[in-house]
Structure 1
Amino acid sequence: MKGEKGRSVEEKYTQWKSLVPVLYDWLANHNLVWPSLSCRWGPQLEQATYKTRQRLYLSEQTDGSVPNTLVIANCEVVKPRVAAAEHISQFNEEARSPFVKKYKTIIHPGEVNRIRELPQNSKIVATHTDSPDVLIWDVEVQPNRHAVLGAADSRPDLILTGHQENAEFALAMCPTEPFVLSGGKDKLVVLWSIHDHISTLAKEQGPTKSPGSTSTSTKHASKGGGGNDNHVEGPSVEARGIYQGHEDTVEDVQFCPSSAQEFCSVGDDSCLILWDARAGSTPAIKVEKAHNADIHCVDWNRHDINLILTGSADNTIHMFDRRNLSSGSPVHKLVGHSAAVLCVQWSPDKSSVFGSSAEDGILNIWDHEKIGKRQDTAGLKAPNAPPGLFFQHAGHRDKVVDFHWNTSDPWTIVSVSDDCESTNGGGTLQIWRMIDLIYRPVDEVLAELDKFKPHILGCEKN
């Protein structure tokens, strides 16, 4: 069975690769030395005529022969309609992309399971590892380290404490305040404020008390689970709030885009819970059976704060309307993956569009407004496509563990997969943008192309 599955993945990949010049405006393929469990865009650094330069945050999950690291890379993002079709199709799966260059390495105490950037200051990032603590890093001030065996861990700029057991994956940053949210194996959702520490991060001065936090101290943070007995030292902040309501591990958390006091969480108990910090530490609304299995991921729509997405080990994505959560029924059940859904994320560019990635190696792009409409498969060119699905990114050959829409560069996505067996490396990072004919009305694209006609005719005359 395994060989059969392997062939089907390879066949799907081969077919996908032949369609790259037709489906993509730009694609960069980067073979990683070590697997990365998380990828995030950082701040845009520079605008040029044909491309922009932007920070990219990655991790390196090693086998122990060298330390685990948090990687800050510089990425060159080619602007729309610049890349030639033959150029984007000519990539070697085993090569590193010239568009991605490592800028700085932080030696991380334990493997990096999740990275999140602070919206108010995207050079501040939080990381989750196999430990109860959340680590905060100022990636610009942190010294560049050489990751060799025996090298000491980098010192986090802040340690957020409050979990009683390992908190490995559930992590979110608040869009409106410098708040951090986390969930863990202790079934708890924990909230912190890092407000007074942003200006003093990575400075060797005494820690100051954060308004609203229980206490601040310099501590040796505990290391759990990861087989790494090193202690993490640095100023620490205790939680503002601890929220109890889940009956199993909390797998993902997310803030309401318009409120620092409202957030949601999902977990292995198949529950979706909405919280309101103003109303205490118990659930505001609890959907008991939001899926038929563990829920791995959740995202809250920044354009329409009534819409919440969840992705589950039952292979489905559910879209909930928070005005009707008491019914327990999703607005839409989307079936387009053949394995557990690992990541869901609303597009920053169009309110009805979102992406989902899964253990089947596919990253799907959906538009819930297309559900029930005849043209909902036009971009996909598949007559049996699930309702709402309009694009499939099949460039990864194993589970797509994370992806992130680029807020600075419309319709551009970075995605990472753990496919080291098929690429002779640690996994694959891809940066890609589908061709705009897929998501824009044809008449709109043709009208834009009309503007170039005088220029093209002028070139022909010359």
Structure 2
Amino acid sequence: MDPTDEDYGRWKSLVPFLYDWLAHHRLVWPSLSCRWGQILEQGDYKLKQRLYLSEQTDGSSPTFPNTLTVANVEVVKRRVAAAEHLTFNEEERSAFVKRVKTIIHPGEVNKIREFEASPELFVTHTDAPELFVWNADSQPHRKTGPNMDTEKEGATTPSTPDLVLVGHEENAEFALAVHRERFHVASGGKDQNVLIWNIADHDGGKLWSGRVSDGHGRPAKGALSPRARSGDGVGARSGDFGGAPALAPALKFLGHVDTVEDVAFHPSSALELCSVGDDSALIFWDGRAGTGPTHRVGEAHESDVHCVDWSLLDENAIVTGGADSIVRLWDRRKLSSKGADCVVWSSPAGLHADGITTVQWCPDQDGVFASAGEDGYLNVFDRSRIGAEQTPEAKKLGPPEVLFQHAGHRSSLADFHWNPCDPWTIASVSSGDGGNTLQLWRMTDLLTSTPYAG
């Protein structure tokens, strides 16, 4: 259920009071994923920053293939946005967003994850068993639409990935994570498996820097990583992706009994992770302990579990979201075999009216996390406010733990990403009958627990 016209109109009238900055960008095609990249320039009043977007076309013409968009975004710094930066026309494209490169993707792009350790690299999921790793700096720009010369040989052929990650036996569409400090990629799919690759095992890490790996996923001078020396899965050629090199997984975990929908790494360990799936389970894994689960929470939600995230600031805090429209908090120290016996907190009924698509912890403030749903709303929560006393008037506004509700999208909210380089700034994308929209926004610091001190 998308936001009503009344809700949207009320939200738009309050934008100047609720936001420090907001940019609205109308997309031509639906986008299922958006991710911030590296900072390109630091100005007095703005940042220029990379942003990755997917474009999912209708396939009606070879001149409009599914693509990855590499954009440069101007992020207005805190407390300097002019009044016109907070007003917009729903049909307009923002001057803050400029496409700089298009990559033709082999199939639709379901999810994008960037490598914070080398932010020119990112990995994608599509409707296939393979995953694709791309170097945004070295990939050539491809022309699409009216600018595409269809008579030119190879004009409609998908771009060649820099690396193909193989190992899934069936399609792996959505479950994807990259460790924030290293070069490990985790994935899950319809084959019910959870896989981990270390892309430092490919060509000694030259994919990102021309330097070799230290064997722990970090670029450094020295010998090749052990798997790279052994040649296990390295140097193979993928079958249908322009002859791109392929890499086999380093680890394979077994324990789900239905499709794996999402995965998340432990904040400091690239061998520990958790996953959720259509079997309603939340499962924890440790590569040092074998291929089976270290803990399994059954019935974590009442139906399919769509998404999971592990806090970067608290190694015991995990958040999940499900098709049951509920967001739940978990404490790794208090787990049991049944979700109802160990859940720390569940979002109040009605806060989301439809399934949850994405959950993510804020990287800058301990205890703050957000959820996005098919209902078009993005809710920001503060764990420290759970159970806080409220006045009768405050209760009318919602539970105390709800810090903020973003209602700027008029259709299903597919993805969002906290900006790791600019605190409290979020990119979010929606697609559907209400329009295909990218929004870049930052709530006013009067609503946060960490007011601006500049």
SS of the equivalent of 1:62 reads coil
Work out the CA distance in 1 between the residues paired with 2:392 and 2:370.
16
Change (3 A) 1:295 1:382: same
Match of 1:166 among 154, 161, 171: 171
Matches within 5 A, 1:37-116: 37-64=32-59, 65=61, 66-84=64-82, 86-116=83-113
| Cα-to-partner distance string for 1:153-204 (whole Å, 9 max, x where unaligned) | 1100001100000000000001232111000000000111111437433999
Is this contact kept in 1: 2:309–2:320, CA < 8 A?
Answer: yes
Larger relative helix fraction? 1
Is residue 68–residue 102 contact of structure 2 (8 Å, CA) maintained in 1? yes
Query: After TM superposition, where is structure 1 displaced by more than 4 Å over at least 4 residues in a row?
Result: 375-378
Aligned equivalent of 2:434, options 392, 411, 422: 422
Offset, 1:213: 6.8
Q: How much does 1:212 deviate? A: 7.0
Q: 1:100–1:117: structure 2 CA closer, same or farther, 3 Å change rule?
A: same
Q: CA RMSD in A?
A: 2.2
Matched, 1:123 2:120: yes
1:458 paired residue number:
none
Aligned partner of 2:10 in structure 1 is 15
Number of paired residues? 422
Match of 2:319 among 309, 315, 319: 309
Q: Distance in 2 between matches of 1:118 and 1:210?
A: 20
Does residue 133 (structure 1) correspond to residue 148 (structure 2)? The answer is no
Deviates more, 1:208-217 or 1:402-411: 208-217
1:216-273 alpha-carbon deviations (Å, 9 max, x no partner): 2342346xxxxxxxx4531001111111100100000010011111001000000000
CA distance in 2, matches of 1:76, 1:142: 22
Residue of structure 1 equivalent to 2:23: 28
The 1:253–1:211 alpha-carbon spacing in structure 2 relative to 1, beyond 3 Å, is farther
Q: Structure 1 residues 37, 437: closer, same or farther in 2, change over 3 A?
A: same
Distance in 1 of aligned mates of 2:252 and 2:130? 14
Q: Is the 8 A contact 1:109 1:232 kept in 2?
A: no
Q: Which residue of 1 aligns with 2:217?
A: none
Asked if the contact 1:377–1:389 (Cα under 8 Å) also holds between the matched residues in 2, the reply is no
Structure 2: where are the runs of 5+ without partners? Answer: 211-223
Q: Could you tell me which residue of structure 2 aligns to residue 157 of structure 1? A: 162
How far off its partner does 1:279 sit?
A: 0.6
Q: Check if 1:318 corresponds to 2:328.
A: yes
Number of the residue aligned with 1:289: 299
Q: Deviations over 1:65-100 (max 9, x none)?
A: 21111110000000011112x313421101100000
> Given the superposition, is the C-alpha separation of residues 232 and 247 from structure 1 closer, same or farther in structure 2, using an over 3 Å criterion?
farther
Q: Residue 268 of structure 2 is aligned with which of 241, 258, 278?
A: 258
Q: How far 1:296 sits from its partner (Å)?
A: 0.4
What is the percentage of aligned positions where both structures have the same residue?
51
Distance in 1, Cα, partners of 2:229 & 2:412: 42
TM-aligned CA distance change 1:376 to 1:80, over 3 Å:
farther
Structure 1 counterpart of 2:366? 351
What SS class does the counterpart of residue 349 from structure 1 fall into? coil
SS in 1 for 2:319: strand
- Tell me the distance in 2 between the aligned counterparts of 1:212 and 1:137: 24
Q: Is the 8 A contact 1:194 1:210 kept in 2?
A: no
Secondary structure at the aligned position of 2:271 is classed as: strand
Q: Determine the structure 2 residue equivalent to 1:144.
A: 141
Question: Residues 360-416 of structure 1, C-alpha deviation per residue, up to 9 Å, x if partnerless?
Answer: 1000000011011136999xx662513411210000011111000001101000000
Residue of structure 2 equivalent to 1:369? 384
Alignment match, 2:445 = 436
Assess if the C-alpha contact under 8 Å between 2:390 and 2:400 holds in 1.
no
Question: Take 2:162 and 2:116, find their aligned partners in 1: how far apart are those partners?
Answer: 17
Matching residue's letter, 1:280: G
